[in-house]
Amino acid sequence: MKFIDAFSPTEEELRIWASNPEAEYPVEMSQDWDLILADINYAEILIKLACEESPNKDFFLSCLYILSGASRSDEKAISELKVMLKLVPFNASEDVKLWVKRSENLFNNPALYNYDGWGWGDLAQDKGA
């Protein structure tokens, strides 16, 4: 899939990408596209796409972990993200609910941060508590 601007994809483009089982990072982004998307401006669509059944939902969950990790020491960002946490539907997957729980814990105790889990988004693959 070709994005009009991979640095600022639209919700429609993200939805199309999310539904493609063979989707790859945009060519111009190589490996850092998750870092571009891990932004409060994308939080709502990231939550929606992480909650939907799609071949790439784990990618969006990983972006949410990166976003939470990056927000951990910024009170304004934490406040904005806490509003977004409330958008997670009651029937969300356990993986998304776990992200909410872990994010709340991180915001209350920033010492829980570790780069691999939050900075790389590896916690998205860790299904433990």
Helical spans, DSSP H, in the chain: 11-18, 33-37, 43-51, 57-71, 75-85, 94-108
Q: State the greatest distance between any 2 C-alpha atoms of the chain, in Å, as a whole number.
A: 40
The tens digit of pLDDT for each residue in 5-54 reads 989 999 999 999 999 999 988 887 767 899 999 999 999 999 999 999 99
Q: What does the pLDDT read at residue 129? A: 62
The Cα 61–Cα 45 span in angstroms is: 11
- H/E run at residue 33: helix 33-37
Kindly report the CA angle at 35 between 30 and 38, in degrees rounded to 5?
140
